[in-house]
Every structure is written in structure tokens, then in C-alpha cells.
Structure 1
């Protein structure tokens, strides 16, 4: 069985390291990308970094994950660093109450199951309801833009070229997306909204998920233990 759990980054350094190394290895081997903004490791000791990790039942093997980074004036959101030099409006949009789901990835072992897209995107939106978030950002590759729309994100056409940028390389296109109301999710696919609400109501449960390669069991542990938002400590 696959386990999907959430935790504050400082609470599980070993899992953070597995997550971080797996993400970097995937980027380097399969995409030829050695450095992206969400690959910075400063978040590992930061209270406002929430990790979603996909593991085996023993919690020793990592199949993928994502990170929810809250804006707090200490660590910039990856989307700020990624596209700020192309469009400075992103700095006005990000403030306390903003967050980003970033660094989403899955290993080759589970490719095609829908884990690195639908399961993690859904889990990120589930977590948003536990956090002091007004708007939720994501920077999507073309293949994941469709998944973003399903869980309630809209393309932010006020940024870049109607929401698109060449990032992280000149031959890669990234799309800026945003949810402006994480509670109502008015733009989410109705079936997806129902699944998100079900997980929000019961944060610890086992569900059968269906992906392109068939069905599989997922044990969700999406309650963030002992989380309290750390207020702004410094201004950028």
C-alpha cells in the first residue's frame, strides 16, 4: 500500500532529505535540469514549509512528494524567485496569506499511476484548508496544467504572456495558476471537489485511487501535526 502523509519540514529531517534527493535526481536524470527555485534546501528547517510525501508502508522508500510553502517574509515562494525577473507583479500578489504548492514529483516506479499529478495536487488543496491561506499559487508544466484546473486552479493571465513563461529553460513552458478561494473551490471539477471535501472531512483514511494504470490503495495521513503559523519575522 502507498502512504501519503503531511508534516512540518523540521519535524522529519530524514524524510525531507529523501524527498529532496529524489526530486533533484529526477530533474537531473530525466529532464536535464540541475537547478530550479523549488530545489533550494533552505525550507528543510523552516516552520512554514509543509511536506507531502509518498512512501511505502514502512516509510523508508519514497515514491514522490510535493511541498506547500507559506509566504511569511522569510523564505520567498519559489514562484517569486522563478518569474519575478520576468514579471515583478508577482511580488505584489504574494503576501502573508499566500502559499504555493511546489516541487511536485514522482519516481519512475510509480509513473503512470497518477500519483505525481492528481493525488499530490489534490492533497495540496486538501491541506490548504488547514492553513491560513487566502490565495494558493502553483507553477505548472504543460502536462500538469490540466490537473491544476481540475482541482480548482485558474491560469493567472495577469502574469507573463497570459500566464505563461519560459522556465526553467528556454525550451520549457511554465504556466502560473492560482486559487483565490481555497474553501469554496468554485472552479474545480465537481467530482474532484467532492473528493477534496471528503479528504478534508476525514484527513486520515484509506481510499482506492484509479489512475491510467489501474486502481491502487492509498493510506492518507493529511492532518498536519502541531502546526502553528509562524508570523512574519523580517521583510524582504
Structure 2
């Protein structure tokens, strides 16, 4: 039984070795469910400086139990939600472009191994951390495309269904028999729509990103010692504020 883990955040290009472990673990989980064509099932992202990783690992760093990615909108690389739904509803591109001026990103690539399934270690905890690190990288708005299993987190960390796109915010993705829900959190700074418990935990992690906390698994009522290592050395809170181009008109 796992009672001690570390949750660590880093920019993908700063730790390629861990990225490779992340890719292997994520692909293994996807293969179990017969999913191969998900847009994040590639290794290209590990070379993208606008992507930040969150990993749930053993204290020695040898074993990965799960993880997630936060990809900042950089004006160059489309977010995974754009690649996944853009052909079905191109309005997602306008939404991302609009919110990128404030700093926008997407939480994606969420996975956990069977060893920790049902504990929240590989799902809720990384989702919470993804919101917690938004202040370090200057992200005010975070998108995500949720599976039926993770859409419930919207009520905890403050997500809202994006009803302007798809079928009231839903898409058949990545397979015709799987329903994905598009969400966004429009204020990761104050988190007014998050559950009070989650907001308190996120604010605490922002105040002290290098701490050890005894956390209760939300689903199996088990206590777990979590060693947080969330300070990202290369983070810049102004890096991803994408200012919109201003078109000047010339009078004749």
C-alpha cells in the first residue's frame, strides 16, 4: 500500500528523462482502454518550452504513478483542446486566442497507474497542483477536456462547462462511444467558483510550494504523506501574456 509520494512540477524541456517515463506510463494506460488516437499521445510535447509537467512519483524518483501536463498558449502551438475539437467546432480557436491575452493554458495528459487507481493520487492531486502552479507561469485561464471520470473535478477546482462550443460543451472524443466535456476556469488567481476546501489547499501550495503534507485520499479515506516540489526554477509569470495585435487605421 502506497503511503508516501512526491508530486513534482517542472518545465518539460528541463527534465527529458522524466518526460520519457511520463510518456511510457501514459501510453500504457491509454492502451488498456484501447485509445491510441488521442492528440496528446505523442512525444513532441517534451521539446515544447510552453509545457509544464506534474508527476506523481516515488521519493527516489524511479517510479511514476501518474501525472498531468499544463500547456500554456504561446501563439505558436495549438492547445490540445484545439487539436481535438477544432475540426468539429472551430470556435474553440477564437476562445483560446481571446483568453491568451490574460495568460491561458490547458490541463491535459492526466493519467494514473493501476497501483493508485481510486485514490485520487493520479487524478485529483495533479489537477489541484496544475491550478496551484498557474501563478508561477502567469496563467489566469485554464482549459481542459474532461473524461466522464474526471468531469466531476469541475465542482472542486472551479471549472465551468464551455457551452458555446460543441453540443453544449460536449464532444465524442477520442472515440465515438466516449463523451468528453470542455471546461474552463476563468479566474485561477482568486478561484471564486472552487470548493472552499480546494481553494484553501491551492492557496496553501502557492504560499509554500516545497512542503510535506498529510493528505486524505478523497475516494478511499486513506492518509498519504505527500512531498510537494512545485517551485519551477525557469518559470516567468509574464512569459505567456499574449497581447493582442492592435490594427491601426490610417486616415486619408
State whether TM-score is above 0.5: yes
Secondary structure at the aligned position of 1:115 is classed as: coil
Residues 4 and 140 of structure 1, relative CA distance in 2, 3 Å threshold = same
- The 5 A counterparts of 1:86-97 are 86-95=88-97, 96=100, 97=103
Matched, 1:226 2:234: yes
Task: Indicate the larger mover: 10-19 or 210-219.
Answer: 210-219
Q: Is the 1:121–1:148 Cα contact (8 Å) retained in structure 2? A: no
Quick one: which of 202, 205, 209 aligns to 1:199? 205
Matched, 1:121 2:123: no
TM-score with structure 2 length normalisation? 0.88
Residue in structure 1 matched with residue 189 of structure 2 by the alignment: 183
RMSD: 1.3
Residue in structure 1 matched with residue 83 of structure 2 by the alignment: 81
Task: Indicate the larger mover: 222-231 or 126-135.
Answer: 222-231
Q: Is the 1:208–1:218 Cα contact (8 Å) retained in structure 2? A: yes
Residues 230 and 132 of structure 1, relative CA distance in 2, 3 Å threshold = closer
Residue in structure 2 matched with residue 34 of structure 1 by the alignment: 36
Q: Is the 2:104–2:140 Cα contact (8 Å) retained in structure 1? A: yes
Q: CA–CA distance in 2 between the matches of 1:183 and 1:100?
A: 15
Secondary structure at the aligned position of 2:89 is classed as: coil
Quick one: which of 154, 174, 177 aligns to 1:171? 177
Q: Is the 2:137–2:240 Cα contact (8 Å) retained in structure 1? A: no
Query: Can you list the C-alpha shifts for 1:144-190, whole angstroms capped at 9, x where unaligned?
Result: 11112210111111111111110000000000000111111111011
Query: Can you list the C-alpha shifts for 1:20-61, whole angstroms capped at 9, x where unaligned?
Result: 1100110012x1001211122221011111000111011111
Secondary structure at the aligned position of 1:100 is classed as: strand
TM-score with structure 1 length normalisation? 0.94
Listed as ranges, the gaps of 5+ residues in structure 1 are none
